[in-house]
Structure 1
Amino acid sequence: MDRTTYTAELAGLRGLRAEITAAEKAVAAAQKELDKLTAQRSRRVAGLAGYEGAQAPAVAKAAGLSVGDVVRIAPLLDPTPAAVRATRTDDHAAPAPAPAPAAEPAPIEPPAVAPSPEAEQPAPATAPAPTPASADAAGPRELPTLPEGPAGARFEAVTTGLVSKRPHFTQQTRPTVFLDAATGALAVRDQTVRLDLGTRTPGEILDAVLHAAPGTERVYITAGAPWHDGAERYSTLKDAVAAWLNTPSERWTTATGSGRDKLAGHFVHQRQPVGRYAPAAAPDSTTTEIRSMGEWFDPDGADVLTCRDAFRLLWQALRRHWDDAVLMGSPSQTGRDLWSRTIPTSGKWAGGYPVLSEELRALLHATAGQGRTELILPPRVPEQLPALVEYDRTFAYAKHLWKSPVGTPRRITAHAFAAMSEQEQTKALMSCSHWNIRVTVPQGWNHVGLLPAPVTGDRAWTYPSAPGTTFTTWAGGAEIHLALSNHLTPWKIEVLDGLLFEDGKPLDEWGKRLKAAWADLTNLSRIHADERQRTAAHLAGRAVRSVLLFGLGGFAQRPRLVSGTTPLGEPLPAGAEILGQNDQTVTWQRQAGFSRDPYAHPEWAAYVWSGARAALLDMKHRQGKEVTGHAGALHAKPGTVVYFGTDAIALTERQPWPHRGEPGDYLLKGHLTGPLQHPTTQEQYLTLRARGRAELAARGSHQ
């Protein structure tokens, strides 16, 4: 190419640039017009929900949308039968990959442990009765396994181009007020005003609040729960909440989310819903949310000023540890945002943490349960309880954040595990890992179950303890190591497959800062001279717990469920599960996979949950590196454990477990004097628990 040709090509390139710029502007203008029209359509769809006879298929056909899209805009139009919605659970396991031939499992030889006198006691003559969610009652549930070949490689991979990165912006603060919907008391800035809320519809509440406090973008309801008004007219509480959120209004419409930072639509929840509204005359203007204070903490009778002070103290405590801390709408959003601001700026993970492949996230979702909930029934415990004593682990999950799995996992097959030395096997189990195992409860075992077994039904997991019982499951290394090395009798574990991660500290800094904020508020709740401020500090401390608890749960990320209807006789979408049908349509749902969420890390949630379940059984008290004592169910006498509730245990007698006020310590929360008839349902247990807490409070006998 000569210089003349080169100059001519440059000129032509400049001309092409101008044409591309013009085309981009045309596309942007068209996109803006499309967004405007789409927003108008969404507003009209939401408005149609106010008509009692409105039906999603007719609206969908007129709007050119799917029934699922219509339901997302206007949940009140959901055509799913009420009975199906009432029984549908949130936790749906991912489809199991086709099973592949597995290598011969590698048995783990338990370490030599001298059995304690308790372990030598004979097993009960009668097999332990199943819990209300036992495998016998519900039936076993098959869990997915790791496939062989190219399909298996996806379980040792991350998602291309999806990384958790540190943000380079500060969150926007939202003008917030606190409203007692029962009395009409509104806390705005440093004053309280009384409002007339009319019939307490969303529109009337917004009119009253915005008149008293113009510019408000977030309203927290501290008492009164207006979304439960008229609930008796609906078959489920969720239907009643959806109806309230979608109450027609001439002045307000459902927010459609135009704009990068605006969330769209309502969130329907039985007790903690979120309503998002925009002025009908200016739907593209500022969105105002109506939310429940219960997302953050139970106000427990606190007035709106105390709730406002609690939020102020919470923000101040977090700002001492994050210069750019902002309280977002929910503790989950706040927790994830605060965590993202602890992503390291140097070292191996300075560029962010990679997100696992969709296949691996689905496997973790299906095989890693959360908290242990189990009611243990006679004859494993007495029919008549001498007492009911409740212990609750203080700020429990905060104790398990110091180490978490990072990077791409390495698959450990049964053959590879068998080839390891005993020291290597122990190291692998004590590292961040997730294992597919076959478990056998040892002969002579007379205590609680140690490992989760999958079952169908609401509970999803049970904890077998009958001697000789064999089951296949997945579990974290912490739980498996405990089953092998517990001080009573080692269990038999066979490794079928596993995933071994690199040990990292992605949650450590986040956890340390939250623990420091919690400690500051807890101390303030004890020493402040003003009673209102003591209460506010206590509630703020509970809010920090919610930030950690729900922030951690936000990493788990569930697969999306899409529901819809199809005319009878027409083919259903691939993978659809039929929920119900009538003489015209079939109602179905199907999994739509996972969204490309850069903050999806189910491996972190799974590892923390596994460690917390293990600590319910055996937790070590340390002074430096020295072990100074033990606590947990395995350190209580056999036959004395009545109930497990995520981070709490109920027993028939008090325990000598010290409480130093540190995260993870067991705190005496309730003591109900017996004899008591053993509860047969969780509801009966919760009633007894409330009585026990009241009795202990009346005694003033806390540890």
Structure 2
Amino acid sequence: MDRKTYTAELAGLRELRTEITAAEKAVAAAQKELDKLTAHRARRVAGLAGYEGAQAAPIAKASGLSVGDVVRIAPLLDPTPVAVRTARAEDRARAAAPARASAPTGGPGPAVAVAAALTGPAAVIEPPALAPAEARAVAGESPCAQLPGAAASALAHGLRETEPGVQADSCALVSAPAPAAAPALAAPVTEAPTEGEDQAVAEQPAPVVPAAPVAAAPRPEVEAGPRELPALPEGASGVRFEAVAAGLVSTRPRFVQQARATVFLDAAAGMLAVRDQVVRVDLGARTPGEVLDAVLATAPGTERVYITAGAPWHDGAERYSTLKDAVAAWLNTPSERWTTAVGSGRDKLAGHFVHQRQPVGRYAPASAPDSTSTEIRSMGEWFDADGADVVTCRDAFRLLWQALRRHWDDAVLMGSPSQTGRDLWSRTIPTSGRWAGGYPVLSEELRGLLHATGGQGRTELLLPPRVPERLPALVEYDRTFAYAKHLWKSPVGTPRRITAAAFAAMTEQEQTKALMSCSHWNVRVTVPAGWNHVGLLPAPVTGDRAWVYPATPGATFTTWAGGAEVHLALSNHLAPWRIEVLSGLLFEDGKPLDEWGKRLKAAWADLTNLSRIHGDERQRQAAYLASRAVRSVLLFGLGGFAQRPRLVSGTTPIGEALPAGVEILGQDEAVVTWQRQAGFSRDPYAHPEWAAYVWSGARAALLDMKYRQGKEVIGHAGALHARPGTVVYFGTDGIALTERQMWPYRGEPGDYLLKGHLSGPVEHPASQEQYLKLRGLGRAELAQTGADR
């Protein structure tokens, strides 16, 4: 090739480049138009679900989608019988778990047992992915949004697109590749993606499984069968359990959150609080569209509406079999002026979130669906208004923001306390030192292990004969701002695996240090002979309870527990339990939550003091409610770190093979309904190790909490310091007993506060529901008679 030819080829290449660029722009424009059309189709399909006689098949034919895709967009159109989707049998069958075995240990003494290796994780079959725009139209952000029209099913598997590592106004999300299409199955399967969110003490949304009836009858406590927990695999398959996720780090945000224009609405009285004004509004039939019309006519530009009283989503609930169905129907009430928000960009969120009492509705004008959306939320996400009027709720929200602003220059109140808590925490990530680059996220395998083995708060009703049939009294103690006491130390970095042999080879001092460090242990437990008090360690069981606390002398079980609990079982002042360490994970001690906790405790203390000394009764109540909101920010912010795996539910015709690893929920003459876990999203703020460590410490403190003056221990409180046979109930951060205790109360986080006293004799509650009724009576009696008797 000569120079002339070379020059001519270069010129031709430039022309080709221009043509390719033009073609790329044309393709991008066409793709944008296609995304817009498919998103519009998704909205229209979701809207059709509001018609009572709507069916998936004709909608699929008209829209050019498959029936499965229609069901993903509008789960209310799922042809599976409602009875099957909503039924939860008392003794539901469980799918066979992967084979596991533990090599037994022979004799007494230090732990010498070694857990056998597990098989690798089973292959996960994902549902086919929707088109990107359609996925955005139907999928919300975990854990805050739900599919339009969703009632029995929850979040689609697709995530709304956002910038990696950037937290949107209501939820932190990362962009993730769409799931791969599912391989062919031997049996036809209809899958409806659901969100698995647990959080009794985490984010308010509960796992989306068939809901309980609206008026469920009290159910006595029943014993469930044992449940096998995973162990640490040996060999190459165990390496991932000592690793972090590649390229996934919790980093300090580089943007400032934008506040949303917020108003407060008493839907019962029709009173709207807008800034410093209160206006009466006509809400009509209280549908979402009428609420939005009334609010925006008075306060144009409103982006968030908090309902402080009235709960319009419960209107007509008696027509539905579950509250969740009633709420879903209300959220999706057809409107000519409003449509479900589909989300676009960093700060625009998609879809509704269906929850029995704290739902979230997100709406956009039907004429401009891509414009700014408006949320309808419950004030109950932050605190129980307890009869407070709309002005007091507004003032509480303002006091909350002011208290947080004193400790965070860039504090912004987001949609829920969970989102606010996690955002505030992200702004305490250090800018210097070892973790200045952020905190690494553990591998998916390790997060899965912690999810399966790290229980939350202890909830247990002790039944006769362990306690009297007739209680001499029912006395309730509640730990003040309990979790705040357990944030000073947390696990960081990659854990180090401790085998049974390695633990046995340690000196007693080294073993104690390991247990008192940030650690998580797989142990075989034996209750000592002669034990006559409450159980100390959780044992896994099937069913709703998930965990029980064996206390029968000689009982043996295998479980996982945090180092604080294991150390307490070994060193309690009544009788040491026999513990065999099978394996463990030992983390480096760090302080990732310490600064966050200190600032929240300071804000809480400021508001608590204000609620006691303010001269105006309304402001005292507002300050108290704001202090409760700080508690919610910490409680649910911590739970947000847990990040639960997604749940996928589906149906398979009777006689056909079920997918691997499913849990059967029920069946009828035609189909079996099941659910299975579908893995974790790539969440840069997923730190279940922090939540598990704090929960473990809080469970241990329910049994034995030390009062300190400096480094000196000056007293004890907790169940183990009450007489045997007097503990009636454990409830996350409180206990109920049959007699008063001399535990000092200093008003500090973790202290035991006398909360209720019901004079006896009292018939022992046969269920948690009965206990909660008695608890309410006890609180009322104490408020009437005073703490001193």
Fold-level match, TM-score > 0.5? yes
Q: In the TM superposition, what whole-angstrom CA distance separates every residue of 1:258-308 from its partner, at most 9, and x where no partner exists?
A: 333222111111111111111111111111111111000000000111000
Equivalent residue number for residue 25 of structure 2: 25
| Corresponding residue to 2:296 among 188, 206, 210 | 210
State which drifts further: 279-288 or 253-262. Answer: 253-262
Alignment of 1:387-426 (within 5 A): 387-426=473-512
Residue of structure 2 aligned with 1:301, choices 359, 368, 387:
387
Q: Equivalent residue for 2:100? A: 99
- Counterparts of 1:621 and 1:63, CA distance in 2: 66
Give yes or no for the alignment of 1:607 onto 2:693.
yes
Distance in 1 of aligned mates of 2:89 and 2:256: 38
For residue 636 of structure 2, the aligned residue among 525, 532, 550 is: 550
Aligned equivalent of 1:51:
51
* C-alpha spacing 1:458/1:271, structure 2 compared with 1 (3 Å): same
The residue that corresponds to 1:173 in the other structure is 259
Mean Cα deviation higher: 578-587 or 655-664: 578-587
1:224 aligned partner:
310
1:504 shift after superposition: 0.9
Q: CA deviation at 1:38?
A: 2.4
* Cross-structure match for 1:447: 533
Secondary structure in structure 2 of the residue aligned to 1:378: coil
Contact 1:50 1:246 in 2 (8 A): yes
**What residue is the counterpart of 2:88 in the other structure?**
87
Cα distance in 1, alignment partners of residues 612 and 95 from structure 2: 46
* Separation in 2, partners of 1:635, 1:609: 21
Aligned residue for 1:338, secondary structure, equals helix
Q: Give the share of equivalent positions with the same residue, in percent.
A: 85
Residue of structure 1 in register with 2:38 after alignment: 38
Structure 1 residue 666 corresponds to structure 2 residue 731: no
The whole-number CA distance in structure 2 between the counterparts of 1:57 and 1:607 is 49
Structure-2 separation of matches of 1:133 and 1:84 = 25
* 8 A contact 2:754–2:787 mirrored in 1: no
Instruction: Quote how far apart the aligned CAs of 1:27 are.
Output: 4.6
The residue aligned with 1:373 is: 459
Distance 1:35 1:605 in 2: 39
* Match 1:191 to one of 253, 273, 277: 277
C-alpha distance 3-497 of structure 1, shift in aligned 2 (>3 A): farther
- Are residue 644 (structure 1) and residue 715 (structure 2) matched? no
C-alpha change, 1:157 and 1:457, in structure 2 (3 Å) is same
Aligned-pair CA distance for 1:29: 2.3
Query: Residue in 2 aligned with 1:279?
Result: 365
Could you tell me which residue of structure 2 aligns to residue 120 of structure 1? none
Residue 150 of structure 1, aligned match among 210, 213, 236:
236
In structure 2, stretches of 5+ residues that fail to align are 112-218
Structure 2 vs 1, CA of residues 573 and 444 (structure 1 numbering), >3 Å: closer, same or farther?
closer
Aligned match of 1:314 = 400
Match of 2:354 in 1: 268
Q: For residues 12-53 of structure 1, give each alpha carbon's deviation from its aligned partner in whole angstroms, at most 9, with x where no partner exists.
A: 997787667556534532332232122201211111111112
- What are the within-5 Å matches in structure 2 for residues 507-518 of structure 1? 507-518=593-604
Change (3 A) 1:398 1:411: same
* Residues 105 and 495, structure 1, Cα contact 8 Å, conserved in 2: no
CA contact (8 A) 2:458 2:731 kept: yes
Contact 1:72 1:265 in 2 (8 A): no
> Is 2:496 the counterpart of 1:495?
no
- Amino acid of the residue matched to residue 210 of structure 1? L
Q: Given the alignment, which residue of 651, 656, 680 partners 2:742?
A: 656
- Post-superposition shift, 1:563? 2.6
How far does residue 335 in structure 1 lie from its aligned partner after superposition?
0.6
In structure 1, how many angstroms separate the alpha carbons of the residues matched to 2:66 and 2:691?
34
- Following superposition, the deviation at residue 573 of structure 1 comes to 5.1
Checking the alignment, whether the CA contact within 8 Å between 2:84 and 2:668 is kept in structure 1 is no
CA change 1:160–1:670 in 2 (3 A) is same
Which residue of structure 1 aligns with residue 560 of structure 2?
474
- Which residue of 2 is the match for residue 699 of structure 1? 785
State the secondary structure of the residue aligned to 1:412. strand
> What is the CA deviation profile of residues 627-648 of structure 1, one whole-angstrom value per residue up to 9, with x for unaligned ones?
1110000001111111100000
Does the 8 Å CA contact 1:355/1:600 hold for their aligned counterparts? yes
SS of match in other structure, 1:87: coil
**How much has 1:67 moved relative to structure 2?**
6.0
Partner of 2:729, secondary structure, is: strand
Superposed CA offset, 1:414-434 (max 9, x none)? 111111111111111111111
Work out the CA distance in 2 between the residues paired with 1:34 and 1:161. Answer: 32
1:458 aligns with 2:555: no
* Secondary structure in 2 matching 1:313: helix
Are residues 1:332 and 2:418 paired? Answer: yes
DSSP-derived class of the 2:787 partner: coil
The one-letter code sitting in structure 1 at the alignment partner of 2:461 is: L
Q: Which amino acid in the other structure matches residue 394 of structure 2?
A: R
Tell me which residue corresponds to 2:676: 590
Is the 2:525–2:579 contact (alpha carbons within 8 Å) kept by the matching residues of 1? yes
C-alpha contact 1:106 1:495 (8 A) present in aligned 2: no
Residue type of the partner of 1:77? L
- Check conservation: 1:389, 1:670, Cα contact below 8 A: yes
> Aligned pair in 2 of structure 1 residues 428, 267: CA closer, same or farther (>3 Å)?
same
Q: 1:587 to 1:83 in 2, by over 3 A?
A: closer
Shift of 1:590: 2.9
How many angstroms apart in 2 are the aligned matches of 1:659 and 1:386? 24
* Among candidates 271, 283, 286, match of residue 200 of structure 1: 286
Q: Distance in 1 between matches of 2:447 and 2:536?
A: 25
SS in 1 for 2:412: coil
Q: 3-state SS of the aligned residue for 2:402?
A: helix
CA distance in 1, matches of 2:538, 2:266: 42
What is the CA–CA distance in structure 1 between the aligned matches of 2:548 and 2:12, rounded to whole Å?
Answer: 72
Residues 57 and 577 of structure 1, relative CA distance in 2, 3 Å threshold:
farther
| 1:291 to 1:406, Cα distance in 2 relative to 1, 3 A | same
After TM superposition, give the deviation of residue 688 of structure 1 in Å. 0.9
Kindly state the Cα deviation for residue 10 of structure 1 after the two structures are TM-superposed: 9.1
Q: 1:198 to 1:153 in 2, by over 3 A?
A: same
Aligned partner of 1:523 in structure 2 is 609
Instruction: Measure how far apart 1:608 and its partner are.
Output: 0.4
Aligned match of 1:128:
none
- Equivalents in 2 of 1:106, 1:23: separation in Å? 76
State the number of aligned residues. Answer: 679
How big is the shift at 1:233?
Answer: 0.9
Change (3 A) 1:620 1:108: farther
Superimposed CA distance per residue, residues 170-199 of structure 1 (whole angstroms, 9 cap, x where no aligned partner) = 112111111111111111111111111111
Offset of residue 6 of structure 1: 11
Q: CA RMSD in A?
A: 2.8
- Tell me the secondary structure at the aligned position of residue 376 of structure 2: strand
| Cα deviation, residue 569, structure 1 | 7.1
TM normalised by structure 2 equals 0.81
CA distance in 2, matches of 1:68, 1:661: 55
- Report deviation, 1:73: 3.8
SS in 1 for 2:760: strand
* CA distance, structure 2, for counterparts of residue 692 and residue 450 of structure 1: 27
Q: Name the stretch that deviates more: 615-624 or 190-199.
A: 190-199
Distance in 2 (alpha carbons) for counterparts of 1:391 and 1:324: 36
**In the alignment, is the contact (CA less than 8 A) between 1:669 and 1:702 conserved in 2?**
no
Contact 1:552 1:605 in 2 (8 A): yes
Q: Report the Cα offset of residue 649 of structure 1.
A: 0.6
Larger relative helix fraction:
1
- For the 8 Å contact 2:94–2:663, the answer to whether it is kept is no
Determine if contact 2:110/2:580 at 8 Å carries over to the other structure: no
Q: Report deviation, 1:499.
A: 1.0
Measured against aligned partners, the alpha-carbon deviations of 1:241-261 in whole angstroms (never above 9, x if no partner) come to 111111111111111123332
Query: Is the CA contact (8 Å cut-off) linking 2:84 and 2:673 kept in structure 1?
Result: no
Establish whether residue 258 from structure 1 lines up as the match of residue 344 from structure 2.
yes
Match for residue 535 of structure 1 among 615, 621, 638: 621
